[in-house]
Amino acid sequence: MIETPYLLFLGDAPDPLAAKVAQGIRDWRPDHAIGQYRMHGCKADMKLPDLTLAEARAAGAKTLVIGVANRGGVISAAWKKVLVAALEEGLDLASGLHNLLRDEPDLAAVAEACGRQLHDVRVPSVKYPIAEGRRRSGKRCLAVGTDCSIGKMYTALAMDAEMKRRGLKSSFRATGQTGILITGDGVPLDAVVADFMAGAVEWLTPDNDAGHWDHIEGQGSLFHVSYSGVTMALIHGGQPDALILCHEPTRTHMRGLPHYPLPTLEDLRDLALRLTRIANPDCRVTGISVNTAALDEPQALECLREIENRMNLPAADPFRQGAGRLVDALEEV
Amino acid sequence: MIETPYLLFLGDAPDPLAAKVAQGIRDWRPDHAIGQYRMHGCKADMKLPDLTLAEARAAGAKTLVIGVANRGGVISAAWKKVLVAALEEGLDLASGLHNLLRDEPDLAAVAEACGRQLHDVRVPSVKYPIAEGRRRSGKRCLAVGTDCSIGKMYTALAMDAEMKRRGLKSSFRATGQTGILITGDGVPLDAVVADFMAGAVEWLTPDNDAGHWDHIEGQGSLFHVSYSGVTMALIHGGQPDALILCHEPTRTHMRGLPHYPLPTLEDLRDLALRLTRIANPDCRVTGISVNTAALDEPQALECLREIENRMNLPAADPFRQGAGRLVDALEEV
């Protein structure tokens, strides 16, 4: 568990996109972000107060979160100066970089000397159990995609936010680095050892109140041969009551696999439902989340209408339209 | 790669079943086993010459393989004396125990001092790639089960042996600890990090001659919620041309999951084929391997006849009848 609130480290971000993690925290957990720290030449801006490390600490910040990825994912010498100073100032560090904080001897030594925590969310910090398949109380919703990187995390975050707005009981359950940094907790599922994947998902989504919904962040795709095993563990460990199908209508092949065509939404519906019902016979597909970023407004609306009529399910782009209709459908489960 | 030939360490096996790994090597790679080492009170016997460590070394043995599991899977003080002496004698050690050889400071120090290898086949020794999904040359056969622990490894080993007997090009590809110790090589798939599972299977079954068959050891089951992600990675990383369905006709529920019924062979056929064809559209189910150990001979034959007629596929128990008919069907692919 990463202590909040955060100071968001934007470093020397070469462009706004490089600060995707900071943007995610800013968008979804604004209460967690009390300021930003930018170095010379930083091209990203979260429209938060620019704070020094001392100012951030004085304002109550507990953790400096590396909200930016630089080329190669390494921790540069320029960054190091700030990170060491942050530890000295009394801030923990949190990072999702491949280059682990704990693998930097100077950071490890300073953290130790200052009694501070280094959170590398890319590696599991828990010894997860083997999944036992017991039906759990409370309800769970899982986003599954026709492909990877198609909007599953955004969809789950948007549905969680909408349920909270309505005063319903809801949690977002992070399964990837960005999601964990946004919420401060979760399971880095792609880094979990094979035998414990489904158990890690069970651990992440325990028994809960009857009316409570877990919105589980999806990973990979059943149709993406590189990562389908991870998706499978989410389906069987998560035993979802509701599936949201996620789709990007302009993609011509699976991400990174030019020789693999995208499945249809019908393919995804049938296969995901068949597999989920092994763990939860009552599971239903309740809606479709369409990433229409590549379409203009009339095209997007036409695309959504076509999908909705064809699939006989509510179809929405939560970024363009909000997650209201997807949540409406969940409330009927 | 574990150096052969082996001296099989049976330790103080409380019963023959505890020496399952040694029995597997004895059955499937008899040329690898030049002798056995038994301690006082050992209840297992591979009918191999009982050799001292020095005799084994003189006879050319390269590795002492721990062919036995004791209660708790730990390395006892009594075992240690033999293991240390084996290293001193010039033998490497190989083990599939949870208690790793390398985690024992004395074994690690003696191995280092003697220039010997400690092979813990339970943990991966290779940095596997992310799967890329490219179609590879050569052919692959994967055994998939209605449940775990149903005879998938035995089936693959029997088919590999039968193909070799016929002079066909064939390899057994181990994906579990016992299989790795039997053949000296493989991927401990259940210990691989999630993102690299399918890539590890691709690495294990590379391009090969057009007429060559890889017999990939299956793991878990698509219908077993604890391990289905591992099975999925085998299906998509292995991109099999042929599937063998494995079944045990008297089981009433999934292993370790009393509230989960077994699927039918039809369920397994349809689901496994649907998923495999994402990676290999030409895949076919070519046969059924039935574990009839719990049935007497007339019951077994009746069971096989019923399954064969119902499924319209050759059905055989490779332990009772050999793998001839399963291989016949492969030769037609």
pLDDT tens for A232-268 read 999 999 999 999 999 999 999 999 999 999 999 999 9
Q: Tell me, what's the pLDDT at A98?
A: 86
**Contact between chains at B131 and A225 (C-beta distance less than 8 A):** yes
Which of B226, B253, B267 to mutate to probe the A interface, most A CBs <10 Å?
A: B226
Distance from B153 to chain A by nearest Cα, in Å? 18
The stretch A52-76 carries a mean pLDDT of 92
pLDDT (tens digit per residue) in A150-197: 999 999 999 999 999 999 999 999 999 999 999 999 999 999 999 999
| Residue A321 pLDDT > 90 | yes
How do residues A9-61 score in pLDDT, each as one tens digit?
999 999 998 999 999 999 999 999 999 999 999 999 999 999 999 999 999 99
Min Cα distance B45 → chain A (Å) is 32
Residue B81 Cα distances to A293, B78, B85, B107, B116, angstroms: 67, 6, 6, 10, 16
Q: What single-letter amino acid sits at A226?
A: S
How many angstroms away from the CA of A221 is the closest CA of chain B?
Answer: 11
A224/chain B closest Cα distance in angstroms: 8
Q: Does the CB of A273 have a partner CB in chain B at under 8 Å?
A: no
pLDDT of the residue at A238: 98
pLDDT of residue B238: 98
pLDDT of res. B70: 75
Contact A146, A262 (CB under 8 A): yes
With contact defined as beta carbons under 8 Å apart, do B143 and A268 qualify?
no
Helix (H), strand (E), coil (C) string for chain B: CCCCCEEEEEECCCCHHHHHHHHHHHHHCHHHEEEEEECCCCCCCCCCCECCHHHHHHCCCCEEEECCCCHHHCCCHHHHHHHHHHHHHCCEEEECCCCCHHHCHHHHHHHHHHCCCEEECCCCCCCCCCCCCCCCCCEEEEEEECCCCCCHHHHHHHHHHHHHHCCCCEEEECCCHHHHHHHCCCCCHHHCEHHHHHHHHHHHCCCCCCCCEEEECCCCCCCCCCCHHHHHHHHHHHCCCEEEEEECCCCCCECCECCCCCCCHHHHHHHHHHHHHHHCCCCEEEEEEECCCCCCHHHHHHHHHHHHHHHCCCEECHHHHCCHHHHHHHHCC
Residues of B in contact with A194 (CB under 8 A): 189-194, 197, 229-230, 233
Q: Is A277 in CB contact (< 8 Å) with chain B?
A: no
* Interface subset of A 181-220, CB within 8 angstroms of B: 189-195, 197-199
Please write the tens of the pLDDT for every residue from B281-321: 999 999 999 999 999 999 999 999 999 999 999 999 999 99
CB-count exposure of residue B305 (10 Å: 0-12, 13-18, 19+): exposed
Q: Is A71 on the interface with B (CB under 8 A)?
A: no
Instruction: Write the pLDDT tens digit of every residue in A192-234.
Output: 999 999 999 999 999 999 999 999 999 999 999 999 999 999 9
What is the three-class DSSP state of B193? strand
Determine the average pLDDT of the residues in B180-194: 95
Residue A262 contacts B where some CB pair is shorter than 8 Å: no
With CB atoms and an 8 Å threshold, state whether B229 touches A233. yes
Confidence grade of residue A68 (pLDDT, cut at 50, 70, 90): very high
A11: left (phi over 0), alpha (psi -120 to 50) or beta: left
Among B288, B229, B332, B130, which residue's Cα sits nearest to residue A234? Answer: B229
Interchain proximity A198–B257, CB inside 8 Å: no
Q: Which of A194, A274, A278 sits opposite B225 (nearest CB)?
A: A278
pLDDT band for A319, please (50, 70, 90 cuts): very high
Please provide residue B9's backbone torsions phi and psi, each rounded to the nearest 5 degrees: -90, 115
The one-character DSSP state at B36 is: E
Query: Nearest-CA distance from A201 to chain B in Å?
Result: 10
Distance CA A91, CA A114 (A): 9
- The number of C-beta contacts closer than 8 angstroms across A and B is 128
A134 at interface of B, judged by CB pairs closer than 8 A:
yes
How many CB atoms lie under 10 A from the CB of residue A198? Answer: 34
Beta-carbon separation of A191 and B190 below 8 A: no
* CA-to-CA dists, residue A152 to A78, A149, A233, B2, angstroms: 34, 7, 16, 43
Residue A69's pLDDT is 85
In the numeric block, which tokens belong to residue B213?
């068959």
ipTM: 0.93
What is the structure's pLDDT at B73? 75
- The answer to whether the CB of A171 falls within 8 A of the CB of A274 is no
For residue A201, the chain B residue with the least C-alpha distance is: B226
Please tell me whether residue A309 adopts helix, strand or coil conformation.
helix
Residue B333 confidence (pLDDT): 85
pLDDT given for residue A145 in this prediction: 98
Say yes or no: A233 contacts chain B, CB-CB below 8 A.
yes
Rounded percentage of chain A residues whose pLDDT exceeds 70: 100
B258: pLDDT confidence band, cut at 50, 70 and 90?
very high
Mean of the per-residue pLDDT values for chain B? 96
**Mean pLDDT, to the nearest integer, of B223-242?**
98
Report pLDDT for B157: 98
Q: Which residues of B fall within a CB distance of 8 Å from A134?
A: 259
Q: Identify the pLDDT of residue A212.
A: 98
> Do A119 and A97 form a contact (C-beta atoms < 8 A)?
no
Q: Among B284, B151, B142, B276, which Cα is nearest to B213's?
A: B142
Cβ separation A195–B191 shorter than 8 A: yes
Distance from C-alpha of A8 to C-alpha of A86, rounded to nearest angstrom = 12
State residue B301's pLDDT score: 98
Chain segment B126-139, per-residue pLDDT in tens: 999 999 999 999 99
Task: Residue A232: list chain B partners with CB under 8 A.
Answer: 228-229, 231-232
Pick from A92-106, A114-128, B40-54, B71-85: least confident: B71-85
pLDDT (0 to 100) of residue A1: 87
